[in-house]
């Protein structure tokens, strides 16, 4: 696993995501857990999907904050606390 600073510089979606993205229905919601720099968030927003992006530090996707189809949630997923996605 590359160090976090290397991972955050990745901008191209993973081949796995690209391969299976067509299975998401048009305008289907996407959940990007541990979104990091937002490479998959950006990919799905560009495809017209509403995206919920979750990470302990959402500052790396701050440029998307006003995007109408994006919901950002800042949450530390490693504490064992319930995910802030109930309901």
Chain segment 25-60, per-residue pLDDT in tens:
999 999 999 999 999 999 999 999 999 999 999 999
Helix (H, G, I), strand (E, B) or coil at 87: coil
**Position 83 in a domain:** no
**Position 8 in a domain:** no
Number of domains comprising the chain: 1
**Position 86 in a domain:** no
Q: Which tokens is 10 given? A: 């990745």
**Position 17 in a domain:** no
What are the two backbone dihedrals, phi and then psi, of residue 6, each rounded to the nearest 5 degrees?
-75, -45
DSSP conformation class of 77: T
pTM of the model: 0.86
What domain range includes position 34? 28-77
C-alpha–C-alpha distance, residues 73 and 84, integer Å: 8
**Position 44 in a domain:** yes
């Amino acid at each position: 696993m590359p160090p976090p600073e290397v991972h955050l510089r990745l901008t191209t979606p993973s081949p796995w995501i690209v391969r299976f993205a067509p299975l998401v229905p048009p305008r289907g919601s996407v959940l990007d857990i541990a979104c990091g720099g937002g490479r998959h968030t950006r990919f799905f927003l560009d495809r017209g999907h509403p995206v919920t992006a979750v990470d302990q530090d959402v500052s790396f996707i701050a440029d998307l904050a006003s995007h109408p189809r994006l919901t950002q949630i800042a949450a530390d997923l490693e504490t064992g606390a319930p995910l802030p996605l109930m309901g």
